Amino acid sequence: MTEQDNNARQEPLSRPESKTPDEPKKMYALGIGVLAATAGTLKLSDMPAVQLAVHLGMEVTVSILGLLASLYVILSKRGLPAGAKHWAYGTAGLIVGFWLKT
């Protein structure tokens, strides 16, 4: 082995320090603020037909993906932690409740 190989083994890899560690938190807070400010301003009757179709398509797509993921966890025979099962039951209940509401 060469000396360079020995030095490479001894030096751990380090991540470069982030200059803006609070940037994701700021974006998250901004997103929550925008959602809170615009809550209840969009009504389905104000939407054109194409937007309504896209809106319904996204609701169906997200619901199917969420139900598939939660059913996989619920029906899985693997030794999953209890928290995963709780998440799965909660997600399935949320989606069923959403569709029963509409």
Give the separation between CA 63 and CA 71, rounded to whole angstroms. Answer: 12
- CA distances for 66 relative to 1, 84, 100, angstroms: 52, 13, 16
Q: Does residue 7 lie in a domain region? A: no
Closest CA to 98 of 67, 74, 75, 71: 67
The mean per-residue pLDDT over the stretch 40-62 comes to 78
> What is the span of the domain harbouring residue 91?
45-102
Query: What is the pLDDT, as a whole number, of residue 8?
Result: 53
Better pLDDT: 56 or 23: 56
Confidence of residue 65 (pLDDT cuts 50, 70, 90): very high
Q: Does residue 51 lie in a domain region? A: yes
Give how many domains the chain has, as a whole number.
1
Q: Does residue 54 lie in a domain region? A: yes
**Residue 70 near residue 92, CB atoms below 8 Å:** yes
Angle of helix 49-75 versus helix 82-101 axis, rounded to 10: 150
Q: Does residue 85 lie in a domain region? A: yes
Q: Does residue 22 lie in a domain region? A: no
Query: What is the pLDDT, as a whole number, of residue 42?
Result: 62
Q: Does residue 18 lie in a domain region? A: no
Share of the chain above pLDDT 70, in %: 63
